[in-house]
Structure 1
Amino acid sequence: MTTRLELHDISKRYPAVVANDAIHLTVEPGQIHAVLGENGAGKSTLMKIIYGAVKPDAGRVLWNGKEVHIANPAVARELGIAMVFQHFSLFDTLTVTENIALGLPADTRLDELARRIEATASQYGLELEPQRHVHTLSVGECQRVEIVRALLAKPQLLILDEPTSVLTPAAVEKLFGTLRQLAAEGCSILYISHKLDEIRALCHACTVVRAGKNTGVCDPREESAASLSRMMIGSEPPAIARAARAPGAAMLDVNQLCLPKSHPFATELQDICLRVRGGEIVGLAGVSGNGQQELLAALSGEDRRAAADSIMLCGTPAGRLPPGRRRALGFGFVPEERLGRGAVPEMSLADNVMLSLQTKATIWRGFVRGRAIVDMAAAIIARFGVKAAGPHAPARSLSGGNLQKYIVGREVMRKPSVLVVAQPTWGVDVGAAAQIRAELVALRDAGCALLIISEELDELFDIADRLHVIAKGRLSPSIDTADASVALIGQWMSGLWSPAAGGAHV
């Protein structure tokens, strides 16, 4: 049998870093092959080389036994290679159908394509509305668009980067079944995930990359999560230490929050009641697109249509306050979209400090204190182990996981009274995820009130004191994490809970 893909001595250097250093990779037909490595290890660069989005400095690529030069993604697609990027390549002003049509022949009929999109999305459990404009979608919904676009091409090699972060546990199992079926039909799959249990359950082989170099190839089915972690980061992630404490006074109170749709494809919020007290972490689970985006906009001040007293922040009616006023009351916020909202791509890490730290420490009599923001950026980089060329490196130069560490670090170091975090460890390796979670727990132990919105159930069970689920714009009752189960939360994510109890305060 001819090998599907072979990489020999692939190298790629940038001015500040060697992303890939003589990498070897072999993928067989019908094989589900994981590529495992910590953030900044060079995985994304390697995948972009395979897909033709990045040109290697050295090395050879063999496709079905023949050497090829993949000059661009169009050539990759002609060969039968499809990829779902970690950072999406979608145009905000176009619809889902129009975005997918961009990679197809010019004579493709949009109405027929829309029907194919609906059928494929339904087959794989990925709910999509083909006529929605991308700017109305959440990050999770955008990922669904990318996955469906890749599956429509019926590829010989499918590259998936963190594909399950938008799915319920039941939908993850359905997707795994689909991927196993694709593999059985001969499609090769390159699978990038930081969920070690997923890799062990799904993949036939695993190539581990550390600091741009191969460090090993293994059968993950014969490894433990701990041994895979040691191969990837050189150690096992530390256990999270949590101090037992009684929660304090309510710091964030959401009372009967109702918001009509801001656009035709938005989710209406219905009677949202939520309380977060000082010294506790409240987790909010749910499939992307069920109202998380609208709730985040209301809490952060991006959407100020709510009644003033429907959002109480440290005892102050905040429903109509702009974001700056909320920050002055001690509010901190980490959005789910890293580039464009969490950070300005073209600005340096130091200048990005100004997005949330506009105080006398950074601004004096109308002038930015340049040295102060550089020092703050350097402190975040050092404390959170961010792999970057320094405080003056542009935000876009960081890998997704390292940028996430920087954004979370920027908010943590403000020492807020209330912190709302969306998807804190999406696409972050196990070591960095453990560090971020430990920092959030330390904030909780210091008396901060934290609301964590995540589609990673393991993460919420790991750090949250109480859990809610949001489904179709409604909030479930609160449940202590110790009393919850994955099966129950999965059921609630489908909207199946007692209506009489839904959204009650604790």
Structure 2
Amino acid sequence: MSVSPESLRLQMRGISKRYPGCLANDRIDLNIQPGEIHALLGENGAGKSTLMKIIYGVTQPDSGEIVWRGKPVKMRDPAMARSLGIGMVFQHFSLFETLTVAENIALAMGRAAGTPKQLEGRIREVSQRYGMALEPERLVHSLSIGERQRVEIVRCLMQDIELLILDEPTSVLTPQEADELFATLRRLAAEGCSILFISHKLGEVRALCHGATVLRGGKVSGHCVPRDCSDLELARLMVGDAEGLESTYAKVQGGEHFLQVNDLSWENADPFGTSLRTISLEVRSGEIVGIAGVAGNGQDELLAMLSGEQLLHKRDAASIRFAGAPVANLRPDARRKLGLAFVPAERLGHGAVPDMSLSDNALLTAFQQGLVSNGLIKRDKVVAFAEEIIRRFAVKTPDAETPAGSLSGGNLQKFILGREIMQKPKLLVAAHPTWGVDVGAAAAIHRALIALRDAGAAILVISEDLDELFQICDRIGALSSGKLSALTDTPSTCQVEVGRWMAGEFGANPSPIDQAAANPAPLS
């Protein structure tokens, strides 16, 4: 059904944006109606982020036209976008943790809106109206991740919003919090607010969105009604070749224990960090164990303990063991000699140095793989090693000398994971292995993890993506406030139950109806 331009809330005509060596947006058209929840889909590097920034005034297009409520506009900056009624909640929140909810909202709205004290009543009114209750006096650092997202959304709603842009809004939420968010979005849409929804979770898109625009390689590859499509059909629109995207993996029983953590407790001196409380777990050779949890519940602290970035006293060395050997007081290089490989949560700056080439980044953790002799770097072997990672893991890059920071998120993640897997580890600890990557890259990463498992490695995956954990993990548990639930065989539980563990309800059990409804179906 055709829609007249005058009735559209937002219309983008022929938007193009070029960066050096890259045509990010190529004559893109996008239409959003009042009260519509519209999905913007595409693999990493498809041009979604650039298009969002153009709508919000962060970036200026090279050509094309933006039409807002029937009138052409030049979106000079975010302040202008906000004045027109456009709000955006970025994937990474922009809140000051040491300030209150009211102080954060007052900063965003400017002096004309009033003091934080004057805004408190309106914050309560707006947040309760949309089922996102907030206490204005609370300090942001005391809020859960889901509550912090509420602050960002309420901050937009208090500015008479007409278009709300959400970038991967459920990546840090429990299933219950995601359901609450969707209820809020449906209510906003019913009141006439338009919503542009960006997500790699195709099941969410199908359940929530009225329409979708799909980008591939900077161009519009198609439009669809998500609820009329399967996940696989959406994936094909996004990546073209959908081979392997519908994979399901058999669950297995591991062999001998390789990683053992026994009653690990640690007091975090950081007031914004999380202390660990009597954590015990084991990972066997030839299995994948998944740990779910909302960010900020001890994942970073546990990862630092396992990688060796945070050392314990020698008397506590036995609280972490690799193949029976105490390691909690060993540095990262010593743990790597015992078979550890590590994929950190942060790709740039932690997993890779942005300004360094891929070959130099390969050397950073793989120097023990015959790439250095008597203190001298074997340059030809380093380059060959990096090129083999690029080939085996289908990393899209001009060559091994390309700076890591120039790669898309999905391609850099494949390179980092490939670097670790090619060292043939006995234990791989991977944090958020597919966070923010497209469906094609995620499928490739999952296949690589399963292959490593089947080769006999012990693998621990820490992730906020329950669909991912249920797809690839043989056993699963959850972290909440520094405490770890018991590990359970994945087929014996469901997303509802794990969601309760993520909220700290370790004793809660789902009903058989909940379990049947909540277990994720494979792509079809």
TM-score above 0.5? yes
Maintained 8 Å contact 1:243/1:445: no
State how far apart, in whole Å, the 2-side matches of 1:378 and 1:129 are.
54
Corresponding residue for 1:218? 224
- CA gap of 1:177–1:141, structure 2 versus 1, over 3 A, is closer
Corresponding residue for 2:78? 73
Q: State yes or no: 1:292 paired with 2:325.
A: no
**SS state of the match for residue 50, structure 2?**
helix
- CA gap of 1:438–1:117, structure 2 versus 1, over 3 A, is farther
Corresponding residue for 1:390? 399
- CA gap of 1:111–1:207, structure 2 versus 1, over 3 A, is same
Residue range with higher mean Cα deviation, 302-311 or 23-32? 302-311
Corresponding residue for 1:413? 422
State how far apart, in whole Å, the 1-side matches of 2:500 and 2:189 are.
29
Maintained 8 Å contact 1:117/1:130: no
- CA gap of 1:23–1:369, structure 2 versus 1, over 3 A, is farther
Deviations 1:98-137, CA, capped at 9 Å, x for gaps: 766654425764566789879878843899996356xx99
Amino acid at match of 2:86: I
Matches within 5 A, 1:343-358: 343-358=352-367
Greater Rg by CA:
2
Corresponding residue for 1:251? 258
In structure 1, which of residues 325, 341, 364 is the aligned counterpart of residue 350 of structure 2? Answer: 341
Corresponding residue for 1:274? 281
Taking only aligned residues, the RMSD between alpha carbons, in angstroms, comes to 3.1
**SS state of the match for residue 385, structure 1?**
coil
Q: CA deviation at 1:24?
A: 0.7
**SS state of the match for residue 293, structure 1?**
helix
Q: CA deviation at 1:89?
A: 6.7
Q: State yes or no: 1:443 paired with 2:448.
A: no
- CA gap of 1:258–1:77, structure 2 versus 1, over 3 A, is same
State how far apart, in whole Å, the 2-side matches of 1:389 and 1:441 are.
28
- CA gap of 1:140–1:490, structure 2 versus 1, over 3 A, is closer
- CA gap of 1:364–1:273, structure 2 versus 1, over 3 A, is same
Maintained 8 Å contact 1:90/1:99: no
Matches within 5 A, 1:140-289: 149-151=155-157, 153-238=159-244, 239-240=246-247, 242=249, 246-289=253-296
| Amino-acid identity (%) | 53
**SS state of the match for residue 462, structure 1?**
helix
Maintained 8 Å contact 1:141/1:288: no
**SS state of the match for residue 196, structure 2?**
strand
Q: CA deviation at 1:185?
A: 1.8
Maintained 8 Å contact 1:140/1:289: no
Maintained 8 Å contact 1:40/1:402: no
The TM-score normalised by the length of structure 2 is: 0.86
**SS state of the match for residue 356, structure 1?**
helix
Structure 2, unaligned stretches of length 5 or more? 1-5, 509-524
- CA gap of 1:152–1:421, structure 2 versus 1, over 3 A, is farther
State how far apart, in whole Å, the 2-side matches of 1:147 and 1:316 are.
49
State how far apart, in whole Å, the 1-side matches of 2:126 and 2:279 are.
33
Corresponding residue for 1:83? 88
Maintained 8 Å contact 2:359/2:383: yes
Corresponding residue for 1:361? 370
Residue range with higher mean Cα deviation, 396-405 or 285-294? 396-405
In structure 2, which of residues 303, 313, 324 is the aligned counterpart of residue 315 of structure 1? Answer: 324
Amino acid at match of 2:478: V
Maintained 8 Å contact 2:96/2:140: no
Q: CA deviation at 1:214?
A: 1.0
State how far apart, in whole Å, the 1-side matches of 2:419 and 2:492 are.
33
Q: CA deviation at 1:301?
A: 1.8
Maintained 8 Å contact 2:98/2:139: no
- CA gap of 1:295–1:153, structure 2 versus 1, over 3 A, is farther
Amino acid at match of 2:331: P
State how far apart, in whole Å, the 1-side matches of 2:493 and 2:216 are.
37
Corresponding residue for 2:139? 131
Matches within 5 A, 1:103-114: 103-105=108-110, 109=115
Structure 1, unaligned stretches of length 5 or more? 500-506
Q: State yes or no: 1:428 paired with 2:433.
A: no
State how far apart, in whole Å, the 1-side matches of 2:412 and 2:243 are.
20
- CA gap of 1:16–1:384, structure 2 versus 1, over 3 A, is farther
Amino acid at match of 2:496: A
Maintained 8 Å contact 2:291/2:476: yes
**SS state of the match for residue 25, structure 1?**
strand
Amino acid at match of 1:255: N
**SS state of the match for residue 289, structure 1?**
coil
State how far apart, in whole Å, the 1-side matches of 2:76 and 2:384 are.
41
Q: CA deviation at 1:168?
A: 1.4
Corresponding residue for 1:16? 21
Residue range with higher mean Cα deviation, 204-213 or 326-335? 326-335
Maintained 8 Å contact 1:141/1:166: no
Q: CA deviation at 1:36?
A: 1.0
Maintained 8 Å contact 1:229/1:237: no
Q: CA deviation at 1:153?
A: 4.2
State how far apart, in whole Å, the 2-side matches of 1:357 and 1:110 are.
52
Residue range with higher mean Cα deviation, 392-401 or 42-51? 392-401
Q: CA deviation at 1:143?
A: 6.5
**SS state of the match for residue 498, structure 2?**
helix
State how far apart, in whole Å, the 1-side matches of 2:143 and 2:376 are.
37
Maintained 8 Å contact 2:145/2:173: no
Q: CA deviation at 1:418?
A: 0.8
- CA gap of 1:405–1:216, structure 2 versus 1, over 3 A, is same
Amino acid at match of 1:353: A
State how far apart, in whole Å, the 1-side matches of 2:486 and 2:441 are.
31
State how far apart, in whole Å, the 1-side matches of 2:124 and 2:268 are.
23
Q: State yes or no: 1:380 paired with 2:389.
A: yes
Maintained 8 Å contact 1:206/1:217: yes
The TM-score normalised by the length of structure 1 is: 0.88
Amino acid at match of 1:404: Q
Deviations 1:138-177, CA, capped at 9 Å, x for gaps: 9989867755654554532111111111111111111001
**SS state of the match for residue 390, structure 1?**
coil
Maintained 8 Å contact 1:82/1:157: yes
